[in-house]
Amino acid sequence: MIAAGIDAGTQSIKVIVYDSSSKEIIASHAEPLELIVGDGGVREQKASWWTDAVRKCFLAVPADIRKKIGVISVSGQQHGFVPVAADGSVLYSVKLWCDTSTAPECYEIEEKLGGRKALSERIGNPILPGYTASKILWFRKNHPDLYEKMATVMLPHDYLNFYLTGERVMERGDASGTGLMDIFKGTWDKDAVAAISPDLIDKLPPILPAPGIIGKVKKETASDLGLSEDCSVASGGGDNMMSAIGTGAVADGAVTMSLGTSGTLFSSVSHAFHDKENRLASFCSSHGTWLPLLCTMNCTVASEIMRGFMGFDVKAFDGEAEKAPIGSEGLMMLPFFNGERIPDLPDGKGVLFGMTPDNVKAGNIARATLEGVTFEFLLGLEAFRENGIAVDSITLTGGGSKSPFWRQLVADMSGCPVRVPVSSEAAALGSALQGLWLAEGGDIKEIAEEHIAFDPSKSAMPDMENHKKYMELYEKWHKLVDISVPMYSL
């Protein structure tokens, strides 16, 4: 079968076309996206930019291949809020996962529900800045007239499903990242919903009980994209859920680390999962399990900011970092440029600590940046192990996984072997594989094992002596985080 995977990210829309017989991507195209940046943490996009980019991507695929596509599945950036009217129009710019401007609304909702701890224990998650719930409350408070016109709350991937099929539905993986779903029951939590507005429950789409095919591509959309009218659309999911499939994290024990704009660390578990300390998000997967996940809001963001400041390209930046010693001669970076989710610092700022006349060097700054970003992942690894999730090896994906230096850094810091898939398009490939699974049936674990290959030349084994050094540095870095927290509220 020929399947298409759409990856709707923050920086671009990508489409890949995958042939399950030859086990290869036979066509692909990407279109860049702009970002609306405003004061107070505003990060937005226009939904029309996504559909325009999807159209351009499909039209860049040869016509004969497009006509053979039998199923499409969409991966979308999580947590974004798309307010859709009854006529299908989008009423406002889409507030994205990285928008922290609605942090006050998070606290307002949690206060109504008895506080963060009580809410988290009841539905599995608190309501963090970036989650969808606070964006809806912000919209109701600041644009009440538009809120009244809103018929349906959608997430980015839901909106693209709607564009393709006309169906208004959510699936449990992406829905679990709204802050409004009970992850134990797979249903909307009526109290959490009512804390935003009594009528919001009527504006939320139904949650599918299990992954499935949601419909066929609409006739007019099929014509516009050059697709067959028999092309099916799978339920899809959030980008992390699709990356789990695309990297083989579909069964207990498989752990994936994504080094992208944001950083994520996740694993598939077969039981309902809840981290009582809320270090890990208690998400559902889009293949029928649960997906405990650490998300940092600053990963390649931090390295891009610092290398831009120093005037380096990626290769030169990594080269400078590799020249510096472990610990960067005392420099430590807190890479909270966009605020941070874990630790929970929506007003966080980047900090470069420990500068002396002798250690302010390009190599030390570059290495301290990558060390600081990777230390954040250790917060997640600690939480995984404390919650009984084995971490014996790590699959790396995302742009950062292309760096030999960063791959070795992850291996040394974690003390685990690292492997990298042949395909760098984890979310898009995961979407295509989900589509194959739902269209043709079978076992998702077997499908992942059959279709996901790994590149042995990009594997990294940990140096345990270096690991010991990093554990000592991690304790110092963690103390720096703790003592810096009060400064962010000044």
Respond yes or no: is residue 239 known to be catalytic: yes
Q: Where would I find the H helices in 360-463?
A: 362-386, 404-414, 426-440, 444-451
Owner of token pair 């912000």: 138
Instruction: Categorise residue 28: left if φ over 0, alpha if ψ from -120 to 50, beta otherwise.
Output: beta
Q: Please state whether the peptide bond connecting residue 343 to the residue before it is cis, i.e. omega within 30 degrees of 0.
A: yes
DSSP structure class, residue 117: H
Q: What is the largest CA-CA distance in the chain?
A: 67
CA contacts within 13 A on the Cβ side of 462: 19
Per annotation, catalytic residue among 158, 174, 189, 239? 239
CA distance 184 to 241: 17
CA distance 380 to 318: 24
Contact 374, 296 (CB under 8 A): no
DSSP per residue over 17-48, as a string? EEETTTTEEEEEEEEE---EEEGGGEEEE-HH
Burial (0-12, 13-18, 19+ Cβ within 10 Å), 251: middle
Structure token digits, residue 15: 């489409």
Instruction: Tell me the torsion sign for CA atoms 195, 207, 215, 22.
Output: positive
Residue 100, phi then psi, degrees to nearest 5: -105, 10
Helices and strands, counts by H and E, the chain: 18, 24
Residue 443, CA distances (Å) to 266, 371, 438, 449, 450 in order: 21, 38, 10, 10, 11
Residue 370, CA distances (Å) to 169, 230, 421 in order: 39, 47, 21
Q: How many residues does the chain have?
A: 490
Strands (E) across 33-180 are located at: 36-38, 42-45, 69-76, 82-85, 94-95, 150-154, 170-171
| Residues known to be catalytic | 239
